[in-house]
Structure 1
Amino acid sequence: MGKARGRRSVVALVAVLAVAAAAVVVHRVLAPAEVSTVARAAYPPAVTPPAGVVGRLPVAPLVVDGRLRVYASARQVYADQPASARHRVTPFWSYRRWPARLDGVLADGTTVVSRWSDGRLVALDARTGRVAWRADGPAPGSVPAPRRTYAATVWDPAGLHVARGSGGRAVLVAAGPGGIAGYALGDGRRLWRVDLPRGCRTDVGTTAGGDLVGVDGCAGPATVEFRDAVTGAVRTRWRPPESSGALAVTPVGCHAGHSGCRGLRTGGPGDGTGRGWLVGPGGPVAAPALDGADTELDGEWVVGTSGGVTGRSARSGAPRWRRADLGAARILAVEPGRVHLLTEGRDLVTIDPATGAERSRFLLNVGRDGLGWVPGRAYAAGGYLAVERLRERAGPGDDDQGYFLTAESVLLAAT
């Protein structure tokens, strides 16, 4: 009897220990965690590759400082180098969080900011991958699940912008359905926060003059709101003349993403029309040259593709130059001093927006992929251009297999 009780006691103890061990494992696997793998090699030098297709990638790159490419996945932001590598290579650094999901990424200089589904903001030093600071921000709103390239996450992060005040002070602005807040980009210190009613306000972007632009319909007809990004105070509210009902506002002429924009296009939601405006210290100024959806703004110049590729003064609308040799080209992306166009023959042509002069021209193709594709999202920075290639008959309801041309659907080019 004594031996039997002893054996039962041993079995019970083993069972208790097994349950405890399993609990430890479950805790380690499922508990909130952060894994930072910093760079072990030196920060790479900047490179200037010759104009042409660099290579193809399975995910969308964010070019940082002309040296790194930063990528996103469901719970990770990571970088490889050099920026001119033909394929994606072993990560230079990596940062993961669990169980939060990555919501958006932006870069300013050598600071890479990631925003997570729980509202957490994490800034990384691009040179090392080390965490520079952490802050709690407004929880982001719901957005469609990103496709496998994560282009929307890194090229168009919802509710995440950078602005510069009058003294050049860099401010990160994070917006969500319940509020907006501003943070010093250098150290993450929160400068201000405003709680707002849900469902009646959307953020648009930031202006080159340091304002956060939003559309506010909380207390009446939809109005464009200009808020000082450094203090959070509303500078002014404005409604386009002759507008009625709902209001859609699109930023144009932006330095990166929807940050540092010099113009707006306003219209009714989904009506396909718009009026162009330049934004500055004196309030929006009408810019009819920007009215067309086929126009883009770079500084003081508007480039359009209706009836040939043309350049006009943004303020007066006066013609500056015209290119009749590019056919029915479309604008893929704009960056300071460069407008990137895709011709019907799939040539990538980069021009100077002030003069129309050609900076580079080459066939946007690699390997045996062919030219039977249409462009999806596109992005340009530091003389690089990246574009998604979609199947010619792809529709928004298609799965990724039927939507993208190949597994490595993103082309990266140097212009």
Structure 2
Amino acid sequence: MGFPKGRRRLVAVVAALLVSAAVAVIVHRVLAPAEVSTVARGEYPALAEPPAGVVGRLPVAPLIVDGRLRVYAAHRQVYADRPVDGRHRTTPYWSYRRWPAELTGVVADGTTVVSRWSDGQLVALDARTGRVAWLADGPVPTEEHTSRRTGAATVWAPAGLYLTRTPDGRAVLVVSGSGEARGVDLAGGRELWHTALAAECHRDVGTTPDGQLVGVDACAGPATVEFRDATTGTVTNRWRPPGATDELDVAPVGCRSGRSECRALRTAAPGGAGGKGWLVGPGEPAPAPALDRPDTELVGDQAIAVVDGAVVGRSARTGTELWRRADLGSGRVIAVQPGRVHLLTDRNDLVTLDPATGAERSRFTLNAGSDGTGWAPGAVYAVDGYLAVERLRRPVDPDADDQRYFFTSEPLILAST
């Protein structure tokens, strides 16, 4: 004895509706936009003072924040670990995850960590706690985000995401993409300005230390270097180097990190011909002949390059030679930071010099455990006395997959200099 035919149909309809509702709930939970913030539970770490030498090795690129934390980028997550001189990556101190947006860039100033996402959202986190400090809308990134498994491009040189400071010391975040640029007050996330920028004829170069966004504009004629006030968005100067061609390559030099707070520019014709160095500041850029060479770094007022096998320090403004070291062996300058020049020799010894005098600050082999030194350097990051280097498998094949491209499963080597 069963249900009458009409009741069986009703039961079947109800069951189908219940199944559909359950599926809808599951799909919503899985696919709906969401964010998960896991704040810090332990104490904020103290400043570390490790001795000069290799600190450890890591699977992903660290962004060192406030000299106390290491911040990392994942596909849909930004997270931190501690201590900054830990030998290996540890359990996250805090974490922030979004779905379905992808993480495209991270920058930090003091204890503020700002992440940028593929939907344009800007999320500022307090590095001391991992709590969200503010949220703001920004332009959607226009460049396709590509980053290998280390995430170095995301945390060390994110496209369209820059920091600078106004003359009165206020920190400003500048974000560009989807045909516009915006200035954001870093302290509270308030939008200061926004302006349209034609992506097909305008590109960013970076920011200066005194609150300027630098770009190259070719929308109304020959390529021109454009300086824009990061506080108001107003164009303050348009400049073309003497003898410049209609097309112009402009690269930032002497940046604090990535392409932020850069103290000089190098201009050249397409392909790099006729490179010229320029110091930026109030007024028009000033010639800096010591920065003409594309392999020259700027730290403080010194231009540093390897010339005929010797490391040479010159006055960036006059080109006068200040010191020369021909006793360090063959190698190249891989990074600079305030008070430090980092030379990597052909044997993968790291030599750190004082940029003002050439005096040696430290020297040691970049080798972690029993990994050896048979690797080639990739992306490099230097801040707060630390240096991180991607280690690549020789011969370097940029088109290889990550397993072949990187030296080991923990390709980042972190050192204190």
Structure 1-normalised TM-score?
Answer: 0.98
* C-alpha distance in 1 between matches for 2:218 and 2:342: 36
Contact 1:66 1:382 in 2 (8 A): yes
**Correspondences of 1:101-112 after superposition (within 5 Å):** 101-112=102-113
1:343 aligned partner, one-letter code:
T
1:79 aligned partner, one-letter code:
A
* C-alpha distance in 2 between matches for 1:95 and 1:269: 41
**Correspondences of 1:361-380 after superposition (within 5 Å):** 361-380=363-382
**Correspondences of 1:309-324 after superposition (within 5 Å):** 309-324=311-326
**Equivalent residue for 1:37?**
38
**Equivalent residue for 1:244?**
245
2:124 aligned partner, one-letter code:
A
**Correspondences of 1:247-258 after superposition (within 5 Å):** 247-258=248-259
Offset, 1:229: 0.5
**Equivalent residue for 1:337?**
339
**Equivalent residue for 1:16?**
17
**Correspondences of 1:201-350 after superposition (within 5 Å):** 201-271=202-272, 274-307=275-308, 308-350=310-352
Offset, 1:273: 5.2
SS in 1 for 2:4: helix
Offset, 1:144: 4.8
**Equivalent residue for 2:56?**
55
2:395 to 389, 393, 404: 393
Matched, 1:135 2:136: yes
Q: Which moved more, 1:79-88 or 1:320-329?
A: 320-329
1:119 aligned partner, one-letter code:
G
Offset, 1:235: 0.5
Evaluate the alpha carbon distance shift between residue 374 and residue 338 of structure 1 in structure 2; reply closer, same or farther with a 3 A threshold. Answer: same
* C-alpha distance in 2 between matches for 1:144 and 1:117: 9
Contact 1:177 1:199 in 2 (8 A): no
Offset, 1:269: 2.9
* C-alpha distance in 2 between matches for 1:274 and 1:347: 30
**Equivalent residue for 2:410?**
408
Offset, 1:299: 1.6
SS in 2 for 1:305: strand
* C-alpha distance in 1 between matches for 2:357 and 2:45: 34
* C-alpha distance in 1 between matches for 2:307 and 2:411: 29
SS in 1 for 2:70: strand
Runs of 4+ deviating beyond 6 Å: none
**Equivalent residue for 1:121?**
122
Contact 1:294 1:306 in 2 (8 A): no
* C-alpha distance in 1 between matches for 2:164 and 2:248: 23
Offset, 1:97: 0.8
1:339 aligned partner, one-letter code:
V
* C-alpha distance in 2 between matches for 1:371 and 1:115: 36
**Equivalent residue for 2:29?**
28
Alignment RMSD = 1.2
Offset, 1:370: 1.4
* C-alpha distance in 1 between matches for 2:90 and 2:201: 44
Q: Which moved more, 1:243-252 or 1:263-272?
A: 263-272
Q: Deviation digits for residues 302-334 of structure 1, max 9, x if unmatched?
A: 111122101011111111000001222211111
Q: Unpaired segments of 5 or more residues in structure 1?
A: none
Contact 1:265 1:274 in 2 (8 A): yes
* C-alpha distance in 2 between matches for 1:394 and 1:85: 29
**Correspondences of 1:81-92 after superposition (within 5 Å):** 81-92=82-93
2:292 aligned partner, one-letter code:
D
Offset, 1:245: 2.6
Contact 2:104 2:145 in 1 (8 A): no
- Between the two proteins, the alignment pairs up a number of residues equal to 415
* C-alpha distance in 2 between matches for 1:244 and 1:384: 40
Q: Deviation digits for residues 45-73 of structure 1, max 9, x if unmatched?
A: 11110111011111000000111000001
Q: Deviation digits for residues 156-199 of structure 1, max 9, x if unmatched?
A: 01011111111111110001140100000000000000012231
Offset, 1:288: 0.6
Contact 2:157 2:257 in 1 (8 A): no
Offset, 1:227: 0.5
* C-alpha distance in 2 between matches for 1:405 and 1:119: 34
* C-alpha distance in 1 between matches for 2:315 and 2:211: 23
Offset, 1:120: 0.8
Contact 2:249 2:272 in 1 (8 A): no
Offset, 1:200: 0.8
- Percent identity of equivalent pairs: 65
* C-alpha distance in 1 between matches for 2:37 and 2:208: 33
Q: Deviation digits for residues 97-135 of structure 1, max 9, x if unmatched?
A: 111111100010000000111111110000000000010
Contact 2:343 2:350 in 1 (8 A): yes
Offset, 1:146: 0.7
Offset, 1:272: 5.9
1:172 aligned partner, one-letter code:
L
Offset, 1:141: 1.5
SS in 2 for 1:398: coil
* C-alpha distance in 2 between matches for 1:269 and 1:114: 33
1:240 aligned partner, one-letter code:
P
* C-alpha distance in 2 between matches for 1:224 and 1:327: 39
Structure 2-normalised TM-score?
Answer: 0.97
* C-alpha distance in 2 between matches for 1:72 and 1:149: 8
**Equivalent residue for 2:196?**
195
* C-alpha distance in 1 between matches for 2:297 and 2:224: 24
1:43 aligned partner, one-letter code:
Y
2:312 aligned partner, one-letter code:
T
* C-alpha distance in 2 between matches for 1:283 and 1:336: 25
Evaluate the alpha carbon distance shift between residue 383 and residue 390 of structure 1 in structure 2; reply closer, same or farther with a 3 A threshold. Answer: same
SS in 2 for 1:254: strand
2:58 aligned partner, one-letter code:
L
SS in 2 for 1:255: strand
* C-alpha distance in 1 between matches for 2:330 and 2:209: 31
1:345 aligned partner, one-letter code:
R
1:108 aligned partner, one-letter code:
D
* C-alpha distance in 2 between matches for 1:143 and 1:378: 22
